[in-house]
Amino acid sequence: MGRHYEGHLVADGLRFGIVVARFNEFITNRLLGGAMDALLRHGADEERIDVAWVPGAFEIPLAAAKMASSGRYDAVICLGAIIRGATPHFDYVAAEASKGIAKVGLDTGVPVIFGVITADTIEQAIERAGTKAGNKGWDAALSAIEMSDLMRKLSE
């Protein structure tokens, strides 16, 4: 059997970009708080974390692409909240945001983490931003740390 690679949750020395959608800001602020808490508790330096605010989830991939292609970040964390309404707008925005975020990571080779909540109701979004269902911002930050470490190991 060949080598076994696994990323670890140590953020010392890593640099992170975070893209946050302003739409549904009462949710995305909680996601950002969770992400920052996770990064700092795992050794990241607050001075090495940059945050870019965009109008909504649809705009996240473009800002994430700019950050990821700059060469300054070990990972980019994308945070947003898309809540279903009475029109199909939700489906289009959710699909394009998720595809765009995935494409940025594949195109740049930089871990670009999907921390966008898609929920049917405001209550579901609130639960996933720090109450009953944990905080998806925290979860996204842990993925960013682990993937950054894994990418470093795979490049050795």
**Active-site residue numbers?**
89
State how far the Cα of 16 lies from the Cα of 48, in Å rounded to an integer. Answer: 6
State how far the Cα of 156 lies from the Cα of 144, in Å rounded to an integer. Answer: 19
Q: Write the DSSP assignment of 39-95 as a string of letters.
A: HHHTT--GGGEEEEEESSGGGHHHHHHHHHHTT--SEEEEEEEEE--SSTHHHHHHH
